């Protein structure tokens, strides 16, 4: 019997081969547009196939930083979308779970400087009109 590493390499090669065949099938049957649609965990279904290819590539470490999908979080997101949550309700939810400050920090760090400047100018104007 082959050792574990050889078995894993063989299994990954089989998965990679099946991915190639699946992609050929998708294109041959005109399904490529369907795979451009978003899934619960990615912007488009193609991403899932590309991720499998990357994960099967033993010469790449890219997937080593990836985490498993958080299906519980995905369900919460679906529920919030179904509720058509508005900004005030989302703020209330963040306050109730104690994440308002953390969310503010993350939004500031990930925002463009011009957007932040505009928001600060608006806050300044609103604060001075209320006085």
d(C-alpha 76, C-alpha 57), whole Å: 33
When pLDDT is cut at 50, 70 and 90, the band that residue 53 belongs to is: very high
Mean pLDDT, the chain, whole residue set: 89
When pLDDT is cut at 50, 70 and 90, the band that residue 82 belongs to is: very high
Summarised one tens digit per residue, pLDDT across range 56-69 is 998 999 999 888 87
pTM for the full predicted model = 0.52
Q: What is the pLDDT of residue 21?
A: 95
What the block records as the tokens of 1 is 């019997």
**Domain spans in the chain, listed from the N-terminal domain onward:** 4-65, 99-129
d(C-alpha 104, C-alpha 120), whole Å: 13
- In sequence order, the 6+-apart residues with CB closer than 8 A to the CB of 57 are 16
């Amino acid at each position: 019997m082959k050792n574990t590493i050889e078995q894993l390499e063989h299994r990954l090669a089989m998965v990679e081969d099946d991915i190639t065949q699946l992609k050929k099938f998708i294109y041959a049957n005109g399904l490529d547009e369907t795979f451009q649609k978003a899934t619960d965990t990615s912007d488009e279904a193609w991403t899932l196939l590309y991720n499998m290819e990357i994960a099967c590539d033993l010469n790449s470490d890219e997937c080593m930083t990836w985490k498993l999908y958080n299906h519980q979080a995905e369900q919460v997101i679906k529920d919030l979308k179904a509720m058509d949550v508005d900004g005030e309700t989302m703020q209330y939810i963040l306050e109730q779970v104690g994440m308002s400050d953390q969310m503010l920090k993350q939004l500031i760090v990930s925002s463009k400087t011009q957007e932040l400047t505009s928001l600060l100018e608006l806050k300044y104007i609103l604060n001075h009109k209320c006085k």
